[in-house]
Structure 1
Amino acid sequence: MMSEFEMKRAEKLQQRALKNPGKHELVRIPVFERVYMIGDELYGEFKGDKTPRRVKDYTIGAC
């Protein structure tokens, strides 16, 4: 079991790892619980929210 100090330290390291160096803000990464295809498009659902969402709306497009 981790002490309170170790948990805070691990949380701080995680926040540093997720910071966007260009804007100095946290980057949120959505994680789909379920991914499926409808027609030719990928759709996904977040945990706790069963609303179908297009995966391409949550990805960075190739330039």
Structure 2
Amino acid sequence: MILARALVKLERVELTIKTTNIREIDELVKSCLSINPNERPSAQQIRDTLENYLSKQLFSYNEPT
């Protein structure tokens, strides 16, 4: 009910979101939840951010030790 009232009044609802301790992912989630639609990433930006993060993880995983 709180969320429904916030949507009608365009109020910001403070949600408790568990952070991942991964800066890129946390910033992506935060931007997706922006009340201003112009501040939200496009689907392509979300894809690019996730692809970039996963590529870095895969590359670092495959590095010889």
Give the TM-score of the pair, scaled to structure 2. 0.26
Answer 1 or 2: higher relative contact order, Cα 8 Å, separation at least 6: 2
More helix by share: 2
